[in-house]
Amino acid sequence: MQYPANITKGEQAFVVTFRDIPEAITQGYTYDEAIEMAEDALLTAMDFYFEDNRPVPSPSQPQKDEVLITLPVSASTKVMLLNLLLEEHVSQAELAKRMGIRPQQVTRIVNLEHTTKIDTVEQAFKALGRKLSITAM
């Protein structure tokens, strides 16, 4: 997933904001540092959606002068899983039941800070009747 970011040069720093993820705001003293900080801010902002159990907005098309900031694949797949769980009104306990695993394991699967094998995330999608697809660009 790639989210468009607006980078504005201020007096002392480059300020980065995201139209789709307003919680992600950061800055860097150089342009390169601003990009690096934007990647971190975007990932950190995702935690708010997971904590509040609310859907993460999909990335919109970039507008002129916006830069695309990439969310790591591991986080992108978990974002897609969270959104699917919410869309289908499936609880983590129900997902655990469908996958034949303990509820604590599902809690780790949907935790952005926990490293989860991509095969495990794929199994969660299958348990929801969906297929996980990752496309190289």
Mean pLDDT of 61-77: 94
Give residue 111's pLDDT.
94
pLDDT tens digits for range 78-128: 999 999 999 999 999 999 999 999 999 999 999 999 999 999 999 999 999
Give residue 133's pLDDT.
87
pLDDT of 137 higher than 70: no
Residue with tokens 């789709």: 20
In our burial notation (b when 16+ CB lie closer than 10 A, e otherwise), range 85-108 reads beeeebebebbbebbebeeebbee
| Whole-angstrom distance, CA of residue 137 vs CA of residue 121 | 21
pLDDT of 136 higher than 80: no
Question: Are the beta carbons of 75 and 134 closer than 8 angstroms?
Answer: no
